[in-house]
Structure 1
Amino acid sequence: MRPSARFAYGLRVHGLAGVTELMPAGTDPLPEVAVQQDTDSPRPDPHPLDDRRGVRLLADGRHLAVDRERRTAVLHGPPLTSDLLAHPYLAPVATPFNRWAGRETFHAGGFVRDGRAWAVTGPRTAGKSSLLAALAARDVPVVADDVLVVEGTDVYAGPRCVDLREPVPGVLLSSGPARARTRTRVHLPPIAHRTPLGGWFFLHWGDAVETKPVPPATLLARLAAWRSWHQLPTDPAVLLALATLPAWELTRPRDWGTLDQVCALLEATPATVGEVVLR
């Protein structure tokens, strides 16, 4: 175990010692991956991910080659700065290696309330990052912004940042430009590597601030649909266990003026089920 290893998404990551958004890996046994950049070699042809390797064409034209046996992830293309390696390029590295480790990964973020992590998910334009940044500004620990890694019914922390397309009122945390100045990066404090999962919130835009319970059968279907890397097999028992956790639809208007109300509702709702569901 090399001391320079960093932690993110439940992995011991090598090659990113200078990426400040990642926490020290510690001594816990974790799957390992070495992240490398190759700016000179010909880019490999895309290849579907299987149980050993795969090559993915990324949205910007780069190629990501992952190899399970070698425990390597190679980004082919122009060099990337450290802020980009922290986010968004580490997420597509983390998903296959976690799936190979028997974990599930979802396009979701999360926050911590009463010692448990609460997943926050929704479409790409649902305002997930802005809501998590607003919670962080209220001293609510944020687990992750973009990818939620689940092992059993525990979740792993992601990089210590949330990227925003536009400023969010009331968010006064340490921040700065990132991703070629296309985002404002809000810096998050370190948290525990692993936290028990309490339940799920699904974000929607609407006319009023309200929550509505999601039935287990509906939740199961949603979790199956939100899994990453569908071509890799999953254990149905894992999804069934996750679908027994409480879940809500969270609806709110596109109005910054309701942000305090939304954050208060997010923080209060888990507490209302804590004694009944999670004991």
Structure 2
Amino acid sequence: MTPAATVPPVAYGLALPDLTGARRLLRTAGGHETTWRIERIVAPADDEVPTAADRARAVLPMTRGRVDIDRARATTTFRAVSPPADDEVVHPYLAATAATVAWWRGQVALHAGAVLVDGRVWAVLGERGAGKSTAMYSLVRAGLPLVTDDVLVLDGSRVLPGPRCIDLRRPTAEHYGVGQDIGVVGRRQRFRVEVDDQLDAGAELELAGLVHLAWGEQTGVDDVPLPARWPALVEALALKLPPADQNAVLALLTLPTYRFRRPRRFEEVDRAAHVLAATLSARGVQGLPGPATPAAAG
């Protein structure tokens, strides 16, 4: 039997032998992952790095450096004055590689978190400022296992889990008294919460539906009408490029899709998370895509 310490940790369907220093944030191999290498090179900062992507390579800017994602070499190279450590690569930088590889493979990558409800995955989508990280943490506090925090990669209806951590903003971290201040990584300061979700490495995780975050005076869960689903879904694509497989995106329109309204007040966050968890559990039992009742708002 191969010792667990010698098996590369995984995330997003990628085996990552160069990130063993962040093994605690990654997943256990299920046996079907693609090996992906991470290189780090100390180099002077480029004056200007335009974002570019084609079917063979992607180039992205990063703080005082650049990221090169090479399809043929199955390698992501960080060239920077101070290349990121393992923990920083895992989150947030690995998300760009995951989204790019998914695009190359004709898979769907959404800017979304996801949790497990009664053995099935629900995606949680929100635009910048929608409070997605806070919502994700509150759902974990409500007892739902974390599947991913920032990018959701789908191979058909099968979900490829992401890292086991949530990066909160300062107000949320201070409200709950949690999170390690890891400084500014990427575009913002991060307070990291490591999550022990105990997902089965060999489990086949299927996407049950989508939840779009919204603010409101009262907590409630409402059905999203079909005509409104496509614009929101396109906006949630992790790469702002035409989908490699539009049919794969269109298939998501048939899934139960809800709008989760809740107040901005911190004192309402946990109660709202329990409302959503109970509603999604009830919908799964009923097997119905219809609207959740306003009574779920309590």
Partner of 1:39: 42
Partner of 2:29: 25
Structure 1 spans left out of the alignment, 5+ residues: none
Aligned residues: 275
Letter of the structure 2 residue corresponding to residue 184 of structure 1: F
Aligned with residue 121 of structure 2, among 112, 117, 121: 117
Relative to structure 1, the CA distance from residue 196 to residue 256 in structure 2 (aligned partners, 3 Å threshold; closer, same or farther) is same
Partner of 1:127: 131
Aligned with residue 234 of structure 2, among 208, 224, 237: 224
CA distance in 2, matches of 1:232, 1:219: 17
Partner of 1:13: 16
CA distance in 2, matches of 1:111, 1:47: 31
Indicate the SS of the match to 1:23: coil
Partner of 2:287: 276
Q: Indicate conservation of the 8 Å contact 2:25/2:165, yes or no.
A: yes
Aligned with residue 210 of structure 2, among 200, 207, 216: 200
Q: Indicate conservation of the 8 Å contact 2:10/2:33, yes or no.
A: no
Aligned with residue 57 of structure 1, among 58, 61, 67: 61
Partner of 1:236: 246
Partner of 1:98: 102
The alpha carbon displacement at 1:192 in A equals 3.6
Letter of the structure 1 residue corresponding to residue 195 of structure 2: L
Indicate the SS of the match to 2:232: helix
Aligned with residue 185 of structure 1, among 182, 186, 192: 192
Indicate the SS of the match to 1:87: helix
Letter of the structure 2 residue corresponding to residue 163 of structure 1: D
Aligned with residue 261 of structure 1, among 271, 279, 290: 271
Partner of 2:296: none
TM-score, length basis structure 2: 0.83
Letter of the structure 2 residue corresponding to residue 191 of structure 1: L
Identity of matched residues, %: 31
CA distance in 1, matches of 2:43, 2:267: 50
Q: Indicate conservation of the 8 Å contact 1:163/1:186, yes or no.
A: yes
Partner of 1:161: 165
The alpha carbon displacement at 1:180 in A equals 5.1
How well do the aligned residues superpose, as a CA RMSD in angstroms?
Answer: 2.5
The alpha carbon displacement at 1:237 in A equals 2.0
Indicate the SS of the match to 1:195: coil
More helix by share: 2
Indicate the SS of the match to 1:88: helix
Relative to structure 1, the CA distance from residue 272 to residue 23 in structure 2 (aligned partners, 3 Å threshold; closer, same or farther) is closer
Letter of the structure 2 residue corresponding to residue 185 of structure 1: R
Partner of 1:149: 153
CA distance in 1, matches of 2:92, 2:28: 19
Indicate the SS of the match to 1:273: helix
CA distance in 2, matches of 1:239, 1:258: 33
Indicate the SS of the match to 2:25: coil
Partner of 2:78: 75
Q: Indicate conservation of the 8 Å contact 2:147/2:161, yes or no.
A: yes
Letter of the structure 2 residue corresponding to residue 84 of structure 1: E
Indicate the SS of the match to 1:84: helix
The alpha carbon displacement at 1:224 in A equals 2.4
The alpha carbon displacement at 1:47 in A equals 5.9
Q: Indicate conservation of the 8 Å contact 2:180/2:192, yes or no.
A: yes
The alpha carbon displacement at 1:112 in A equals 0.8
CA distance in 2, matches of 1:24, 1:114: 21
CA distance in 2, matches of 1:169, 1:261: 18
CA distance in 2, matches of 1:25, 1:31: 10
CA distance in 2, matches of 1:64, 1:76: 6
TM-score, length basis structure 1: 0.89
Q: Indicate conservation of the 8 Å contact 2:243/2:249, yes or no.
A: no
Relative to structure 1, the CA distance from residue 24 to residue 41 in structure 2 (aligned partners, 3 Å threshold; closer, same or farther) is farther
Comparing 150-159 with 164-173, greater Cα deviation is found at 164-173
